Amino acid sequence: MEKFAKAFPSKPLAAKTAKPWALAGVVGSGNLEVLLERGGRPSDTMECHVETSIPGYKASWLAALADFAHNYPAGGTKVTINDQGAPPVLVNLRLRQAYDHLIKGDK
Amino acid sequence: MTRGPLFHEQTARQRLAALVDPGSFDELLPPPERITSPYLAQLGIPVSFDDGVVIGKAKIGGRKVYIAAQVGQFVGGAVGEIHGAKLTGLFKAAARDKVPCIVVIESGGVRLHEGSAGEIAIAETMRAIFECRAKKVPTIAVIGSDIGAYGGMGILSTCCDFRVMSEHGRLGISGPIVIEKWMGKKAYDSSNRALVWKTSGGKTKYLLGDADALVHDDAGAIREAIAKLLGKSSAVTLKAMKTRQKELEKRLKRFGQTADPDAVWKGMGVRNIEAASLASGPEFAAMAKRGK
All structural domains of chain A with their residue ranges = 2-104
Query: B172-196 burial string, b = 16+ CB within 10 Å, else e?
Result: bbbbbebbbeeeeeeebeeeeeebb
Comparing alpha-carbon positions, the chain B residue that sits nearest to A34 is: B49
* Angle of helix B81-97 versus helix B115-134 axis, rounded to 10: 10
- What is the rounded distance in angstroms from the CA atom of residue B29 to the CA atom of residue B6? 27
Q: Is the pLDDT of residue A9 over 60?
A: yes
Contacts of A26 in chain B (CB under 8 A): 11, 48, 71, 73-74
B197 domain-assigned: no
Q: Under an 8 A CB cutoff, do A27 and B47 touch?
A: yes
Mean pLDDT along residues B61-90: 97
Most A CBs within 10 Å: which of B34, B40, B43, B73, as the mutation test of the A interface? B73
Inter-chain touch A83–B46, beta carbons under 8 Å:
yes
Domain total of chain B: 1
Query: Is the pLDDT score of B291 beyond 90?
Result: no
The whole-number average pLDDT for the span B90-116 is 96
How many Cα neighbours within 13 Å face the side chain of B189?
A: 9
Note whether residue B202 is domain-resident.
no
**DSSP collapsed to 3 states, B151-217:** HHHHHHHHHCCEEEEECCCEECCCCHHHHHHHHCCCCCCCCCHHHHHHHHEHHHHHHCCCCCEEECC
Q: Is residue B64 part of a domain?
A: yes
Number of A–B residue contacts, CB under 8 Å: 46
Phi, psi of B150 (to 5 degrees): -125, 170
Of A27, A53, A106, the CB nearest to B74: A27
pTM greater than 0.80: yes
| pLDDT value of position B290 | 62
Query: Could you report the per-residue pLDDT of B167-201, keeping only the tens digit for each?
Result: 999 999 999 999 999 999 999 999 999 999 999 99
| Domain containing residue B58: CATH number | 3.90.226.10
Class of domain A2-104: alpha beta
Boundaries of domain holding B51? 7-171+211-233
Residue B1 placed within a domain: no
| Interface contact flag, B49 A31, Cβ < 8 Å | no
Residue B79 is assigned to a structural domain of this protein: yes
Task: Give the tens place of pLDDT for each residue, B77-93.
Answer: 999 999 999 999 999 99
Chain A positions touching B9 (Cβ under 8 A) are none
Tell me what percent of the residues of chain A surpass a pLDDT of 90.
92
pLDDT tens digits for A21-55? 999 999 999 999 999 999 877 999 999 999 999 99
Mean pLDDT of chain B: 94
* Cβ contact, residue pair A33, B13, below 8 Å: no
Query: For residue B38, how far is the Cα from the chain centroid?
Result: 26
Q: What is the pLDDT of residues B1-30, one digit of tens each?
A: 556 799 999 999 999 999 999 999 999 999
* pLDDT confidence band for B62 (50 / 70 / 90): very high
Contact B47 A51 (CB under 8 A): yes
Lowest mean pLDDT among B156-160, B192-196, B232-236, B267-271: B232-236
Nearest CA in chain B to A52: B46
Q: Would you say A61 and A20 are in contact if contact means Cβ atoms under 8 Å apart?
A: no
User: What pLDDT digit, counting tens, does each position of B212-229 carry?
Assistant: 999 999 999 999 999 999
Which CA distances in Å does B291 have to B52, B211, B251, B271?
40, 17, 17, 8
Residue B190 is assigned to a structural domain of this protein: no
* B179 lies in some domain: no
Contact B48 A27 (CB under 8 A): yes
- Report the pLDDT value the prediction gives residue B275, as an integer from 0 to 100: 92
Q: Is the pLDDT of residue B54 over 90?
A: yes
